[in-house]
Amino acid sequence: MSTSSETRDKLKGKGLFLEFTDEELSDFLELLDLAQVKKGETIVKQDDPGDCMFILVEGSARVVHHREGKDINLAALQPGDFFGELALVDAGVRSADVEAASDCTLLRLNQAVISAAAGVYPTAAFKFLIAIGRILVGRLRQTNQRYMDTLLLPAHGKD
């Protein structure tokens, strides 16, 4: 992918950019760094410090947590998905590896980009942060439901 208009067309209407106008999306994307990753490469490594988040534009990736010699597949990522967003809030370590399942095109952004966007394109920055929050709340609700299901499972087995 070579142009920002191609990137915009790929992301238009995707979760993070659902409420963006074409102009807002184009302006916002100009602030981000484009990265190319080959199939099999590790994009982020578990336990490394986080300093940015990524948005998958093209390709697919998988999120894998390593524990006690076992690999736990946590998620399969497709275009429009994002990961590493906690790095926008703190500099904690990565909780999992993200590996390219195919050749990938990614957008990279850090706290400085969000600050720049807030100053130059405040409406786009606001929409972006609200979208991240909305998606994270959805993920948290799913996690809470799975947790509750595991707690209730033994109780249902006794009936």
CATH of domain 4-157: 2.60.120.10
pLDDT at position 51: 92
Beta-bridged to residue 42, according to DSSP, are 99
Distance (Å) of CA 113 to CA 56, 88, 135:
17, 10, 20
Q: Which residue has the tokens 């390709």?
A: 59
Going by pLDDT thresholds of 50, 70 and 90, the confidence category of residue 1 is very low
Which tens digit of pLDDT belongs to each residue from 45-101? 999 999 999 999 999 999 999 999 999 999 999 999 999 999 888 888 999 999 999
Answer whether 105's CB lies under 8 Å from 59's CB. yes
pLDDT at position 88: 87
DSSP-assigned states of every residue in 22-77: HHHHHHHHTTSEEEEE-TT-EEE-TTSBP--EEEEEES-EEEEEEETTEEEEEEEE
For the entire predicted model, the pTM comes to 0.87
2 contact partners, CB below 8 Å, separation of at least 6: none
118-126: average pLDDT: 94
pLDDT at position 5: 86
103-123: average pLDDT: 95
What distance in Å separates the CA atoms of residue 3 and residue 8, rounded to the nearest whole number? 9
Is pLDDT of 150 > 90? no
pLDDT at position 158: 53
Percent of the chain with pLDDT over 90: 81
Amino acid at 49: P
pLDDT at position 152: 83
Q: Where are the domains of the chain?
A: 4-157
Which tens digit of pLDDT belongs to each residue from 20-51? 999 999 999 999 999 999 999 999 999 999 99
